[in-house]
Amino acid sequence: MVVDLPDEAATERAGEELALRLRPGDFVAIDGDLGAGKTTLVRGIARGLGIDPLVVASPTFVTVQAYTGGRLPLVHIDLWRVGGQRDPGDTLESIGWDEIVSDTCSVTVAEWANLVASVLPCRRLDVRLTIRGTARTIEITDQRSCC
Ligand code: ADP
Ligand code: MG
């Protein structure tokens, strides 16, 4: 189901609502162009988990960030540099990908997950954010029981 997000607050609220459904070990794959609201959504997820949303920054230059203090630990990764192989030093191995996807305690949220589609865990939530003029839409597909 595609849902309209008329403003930034709506994107953050969608993240908060999604957080209520998250369980330890979940992987949330976020797909969306630059400016589609990926980091805003993560801020809402953090708030929904009881983590201070102000700690959530756009991690483009810090590929992995972990936030604690909420109902579940939140691992926030940005795969832009890894997926685009824009820097040969940024590899899945260098960010500790195997540990990230086998972490059964935390929730992991990945911006630009579509860039590494072939290695995503099959049990995951897919989130697609789309830019529609000045607003956005979101579509969430729960694939946690699909493999
Ligand atoms: P991304 O991480 O996908 O690049 P951001 O979350 O940084 O995108 O958001 C980019 C900009 O879009 C921010 O200024 C944010 O406030 C704004 N924004 C987020 N959601 C919406 C929305 N639903 N409608 C309009 N603007 C939004
Ligand atoms: Mg971002």
pLDDT digits (tens, 9 = 90+) for 56-92: 987 666 689 999 999 999 999 999 888 876 666 678 9
Cα of 145 from ligand 2 centre, angstroms: 28
Give CA–CA dist 75/87, Å, rounded: 22
Q: Is residue 44 part of a domain?
A: yes
pLDDT higher for 134 or 37?
37
Residue 144 CA to residue 26 CA, distance in Å, equals 8
Phi then psi for 21, rounded to 5 degrees?
A: -95, -5
Q: State residue 28's pLDDT score.
A: 98
**Each residue's pLDDT tens digit, 86-127:** 666 678 998 999 999 999 999 999 999 999 999 999 999 999
Ligand 1: residue whose CA is nearest its atom 20: 8
pLDDT the model gives residue 81: 85
Q: How many domains does the chain have?
A: 1
Helix (H, G, I), strand (E, B) or coil at 30: strand
Pocket of ligand 1 (CB under 6 A): 5, 7-8, 10-11, 32, 34-40, 58, 111, 134-136
Q: Provide the pLDDT for residue 91.
A: 87
Residue 147 lies in a domain: no
What is the average per-residue pLDDT within 19-37? 97
Residue 74: CATH number of its domain: 3.40.50.300
Residue at 33 is within a domain: yes
Domain extent at residue 91: 2-142
Provide the 3-class DSSP secondary structure of residue 142. strand
Torsion sign (Cα): 81, 116, 18, 70: negative
Predicted pLDDT of residue 90: 78
